[in-house]
Structure 1
Amino acid sequence: MKPSAASAQPPRLDETQRLAWLRLIRSENVGPASFRALINRFGGAEAALAALPDLAARGGSKRRIVVAGEDVVAAELARASKLGARFLFRGEPDYPPMLVVTEAAPPVVAVMGAADIFLRPAVAIVGARNASLSGIKLTRQLAAELGGAGFATVSGLARGIDAAAHEASLASGTIGIFAGGLDKPYPKENGPLMRRIVDGGGCLLSEMPFGWEPRAVDFPRRNRIVAALGLGLLVVEAALRSGSLISARLAGELGRHVFAVPGSPLDPRAGGTNKLLKDGAILVTEVSDIVDALRPLGSVPVVLRSHVAEDAETASGDPTESDRSRVLRALSPVPAALDDILAHADIHPGALQLILLELDLAGRLERHSGGRVSLLSGST
């Protein structure tokens, strides 16, 4: 399952562009979706940086947006260099190919370790932090056998199932995803495991800035990357209300296979996995259940993408105040699809994208999976 070689490679950003990209993604209220919209609108990060204050003001921001300065980026670059980390930029050849083809892929990720592991097919493995001994034993067995079958593993470096998956695949290759910065391991007791991953030929990855302490809202973002990097996602143990089920939902939204290990109805840690099986997940009792489902998919995609996404809408002119009023009336705290907003507001797609960008930069918009958007509470 080796990835096919690309006949040509996309160009790399020069140092000036890299600094501008980092400044832009580190600026206030700029996430992957708004970053992409800004690059498409202005043709480059430097022009987008200059436009941020005006865009946020037009979106209704009551104060000047904080634009990351060159000193902020310089400090982060120095911290990364000290730790032996580096940055991968979306559109460049070493950016993870499984990640670049997903909706709202992070424009910049920080990595430590061997980035060529992203060219290997992988399986994400997640599960309960308070895992049972049998769950940990099965996880180790499946992860080791997946490694023997040529698959790397991906997980979130949490206690329990995540840690067991990483430990069992140190020799065959594993990828750990951070919810915070690469210099902020969580939980701290897994620090030695993270070092072993890097030393053993695996890789650590985060989209968050160095120095960023992980918050509760950051873990779903981490889970999305975990789900994206695998051809499929396996849940070993999970309660009915757990982050592992969020990962499984995200994997399904990304078109990945979802696998689950059945468990006793008397064990709360099996409630989530059993529900996944009822909802159509692939039942797993041995590694062949996973390998047989994934082999027909081939390897990871080889993707050649320009730095500016080709499919983004651009407006022929700025939206009018009437356009903005109609879009605001169409929006609410309930997520809405862009097609529905377009139809209701009777507006050009490019104008709608700019209005949403303004609201996003003003901190008034929330983006959801599937391209849906909603107004944050109190932003009407």
Structure 2
Amino acid sequence: MSSFRVGKMELLAPLAMVAGVVEKKQSKPVLANVRMYWENHSLTLTCSDLEIQTSAKVPCETASAGGTTLGAKKFLEIIRSLDDESDIQFSLQDDSLRIKQGRSSFKLATLPIEQFPMRKIEETGELRYVQRLPFVKALQSTVFAISLQDVRAFLNGLLFCIDNEFLVMVGMDGHRMAINRMALAEKFSERRLILPRKSVNDLLRLLQQIDDEEVRITLYIDHFVLTTAQYHWDSKLIDARFPTYQRIIPQQQDKLIYVDRDQLKRALSRTMILANERFKAVVLSWQAGELHLVAYNQEQEEAVEIVNADVSGEDMKIGINANYLLDGLNHLPEGQVCLSFTNADSSILVQSVNDKNFQYIIMPMKI
């Protein structure tokens, strides 16, 4: 018999984090399980869906080394239900794991630890440290623009383009593109890789749970690995060629609108109440010192908003998806933003006047 003891509060958060990887349906029964291995006063928890693998280390009291796998979701529910203050005793006997705390005891079925598909990477990767909070901000400002399910594989992931001292992240779905440039303390070799949308969301979930000031990323040919003080996170990459995003960024736009971000957000939010429920189309037009926003719907209802703005270029009307524009504005800093374009059919470049590291491009709608 092998056993160990651990506090509930030390175990719960790491277990919930790794169990989040488990899918509702699995190709193998063992993929519904969490892998547990304990020795030398340390418990390692691992879950995998064959695309993402997450491990966490938890301090514990070990009587002897051992390991097994058991149903992740059921195990998590049991741990959540136990008292916060008392330690939990675990003992492995044959093909079952016994859990005991006070007068509560559980006996869970297990699968052999050898059946769990632990990922092994033989090659040498390129390792660098990045600041966690700027990394989180860059991921949040681009992941929302990734396509949900597109036949073009590259649209279903986030491009990481490493250009010496900058890590550029690009998300696009065919209607819009979000670009964030994050400065790096150390130079990387030039690389381009695509991380799947699901992996980016799971990575964000992990980064928002921890409080490390910096994290370590390691880049391999077909893997992206992130390591923190407690976690080891590993994801496969999308094997596809991402288009040259620089060519999509509009150049030499001659029609410019400078407007306060918060005023534009509030005006858009009110106008789109009466916009078509499916397309959320809003028409932008302008004249000296004013930006007009107009929305209609099938019931012939109308909403009009007028916002103070500095405008250059001839008067024109252009249709936009209000939700798309709001998505971009939400990731721009407070203050003046600039909307630039050339005509009613050209793409619209949205960026902050004070911070050029985030650029957002949306396609217009026919009006």
TM-score bucket of the superposed structures, by smaller chain: under 0.3
| Structure that is richer in helix per residue | 1
| Structure that is richer in strand per residue | 2
Flag the structure with larger Rg: 2
- Using structure 1 for the length normalisation, give the TM-score: 0.26
- Using structure 2 for the length normalisation, give the TM-score: 0.27
Q: Name which structure has the greater RCO, CA cutoff 8 Å, separation 6+.
A: 1
